[in-house]
Amino acid sequence: MRKLLSLCVLVVLISSSNGYGQSINKEAEEAFEKASFITLDAQSIYVFNSAIINFTKAIKLDPKYTNAYLNRGSTYNELKKYPEAIADFTKAIELDPKYVFAYNNRGFTYKSLKKYPEAIADYAKAIEVDPKYAKAYNNRGFTYNALKKHPEAIADYTKAIELDTKYAKAYYNRGIAYDELKKYPEAIADYTKAIELDPKDAKAYNNRGSAYDDLKKYEQALADFTKAIEVDPKYTKAYYNRGNTYSNLKKYPEALADYTKAIELDPKDADAYYGRGGAYNNLKKYPEALADYTKAIELDPKNADAYYGRGFAYDELKKYPEAMADFTKAIELDPKDAKAYYGRGNAYEALGKTKEAEADFAKAKELEK
C-alpha cells in the first residue's frame, strides 16, 4: 500500500496590474487591490472572508468588474463554497465569453464536485479561447486522470509541457499518470524533471521513491524518501513509504521507527498502523501487531489486509477461533485473496476441522492458478 501524493491543479487569481478585466471605477479598483493583497498569504477562514467582503464591495461599485467575480469565485473555492464559486465564474463568463481564466477556474470547481464532464467542457473551452494556455491542458489532464483515462491525461500533460517546457507541475502530473499505468521508468523520468525544475518539491521525491520501490530499486527509493523528509520533516507519506521500503529490505526496526513517526504526525493514518502491525508480525511481536491491526481496522473497516494480518497474529498465538474469524472477514472483503484461504485453512486444521481445511486449501490453490 504505497502512497503517492495527489496531482497538482491550478486555480488562477488575477491582479488588476495585469491590465486585463480592470474597472474604470477607482474605488472599485482600490477594494479589489485590498482583497487581492489579503489573499496573497491567506491561511485562515477569517482572512478569506475578509477578502470576499472586499471583492463584494468592488462588485457593488462596478457590477461589470470581471476580475472581481473571478477572484471572489477563487476565494469561495478555497473555502469549499463551490456553488458560490461556480456562480461567480459563470457571471465572469457572461460578462466576457472569452475570459479564459474563468473557464479554467470553473473547470477546477466542477472537478472538485466530481462533475467531470462539466470540468472537461470548461477546460476545452479555455483551450479553444487560448490554444497556448498550458494550465488548461494540465488541468484537463488532471480531470482525465481522475476518470482513470490515463492515456488522455498523458496527452494533455504532454501538450502543456510542449507549450511550457519548464512547467514542473505538468511533469509531476504526467509522472503520476505513468505511475498509474505501471510505466515506472517513464514516471521516474518525469519526477526527475520535476525535481530538476523544483528541487524543493518533496512530493516529487516521494513519488519517485515509490516508483523506485516498485522496481525493487530499494536503495534509490530510500534515498528519495529521505530527501522528501529532509525537505519536509512533517511529510507523513514519506515516512510511511520509507517504512515500507525498509520492510521490503527486512529492516524491521527501521521500518517500525518510520511507521511510528507517521502515526505521530497523523494518528488517524490507518495505513501506518497496518504497516507497523506487519513489522511487529515479522519481529514475532504478536500482541503489539494485534493492537496495531485492530487500530487500522477501526480507522478503515474495509481493509482486508489488516484482517488478514491480525488473523495471522492470532494464529501464531494459537488463538484459532479469533484467527478464523479474521480470515473469514478478509475473504468477505476480498474473495480472491488466496492467502486468506490458506490462513483460514490452517486455523481449521489446528481446530481439527479437516474437511473445512481441505476446502480452503483447494480454494487457495484454485485462486493461485
pLDDT tens column, 60-99: 999 999 999 999 999 999 899 999 999 999 999 999 999 9
Within 8 A by CB and 6+ apart from 9, the residues are: 108, 111, 138, 139, 142
Report the alpha-carbon distance of residue 208 to residue 210 in Å, rounded: 5
294: closest CA among 312, 280, 306, 308?
A: 306
Report the alpha-carbon distance of residue 2 to residue 206 in Å, rounded: 10
Binning pLDDT at 50, 70 and 90, where does residue 180 land? very high
Residue 41 pLDDT: 52
Residue 18 pLDDT: 47
Could you give the domains of the chain?
1-130 (1.25.40.10)
User: pLDDT at residue 224 above 80?
Assistant: yes
User: pLDDT at residue 35 above 90?
Assistant: no
Within 8 A by CB and 6+ apart from 143, the residues are: 107, 111, 116, 119, 120, 123
Cell numbers for 352: 481439527
Q: pLDDT for 239-295, tens place per residue?
A: 999 999 999 999 999 999 999 999 999 999 999 999 999 999 999 999 999 999 999
Report the alpha-carbon distance of residue 283 to residue 252 in Å, rounded: 7
Binning pLDDT at 50, 70 and 90, where does residue 50 land? confident
Residue 130 pLDDT: 98
Residue 95 pLDDT: 97
User: pLDDT at residue 17 above 80?
Assistant: no
User: pLDDT at residue 37 above 80?
Assistant: no
Q: How far is CA 108 from CA 49, 99, 197, in A?
A: 20, 15, 24
Q: Are 225 and 246 in contact (CB under 8 A)?
A: no
Q: Is 134 left (phi over 0), alpha (psi -120 to 50) or beta?
A: alpha
Calculate helix-pair angle for 236-248, 218-231, nearest 10 degrees: 160
Q: How far is CA 120 from CA 3, 83, 152, in A?
A: 26, 18, 11
Longest dimension (CA), the chain: 87
Which has the higher per-residue pLDDT, 182 or 47?
182
Helix or strand (DSSP H, E) at 73: helix 66-78
User: pLDDT at residue 11 above 60?
Assistant: no
Q: Are 6 and 210 in contact (CB under 8 A)?
A: no
Region 220-225: mean pLDDT is: 98
Which has the higher per-residue pLDDT, 10 or 199?
199
Residue 16 pLDDT: 45
Q: How far is CA 172 from CA 134, 138, 190, 238, 293, in A?
A: 14, 10, 6, 16, 33
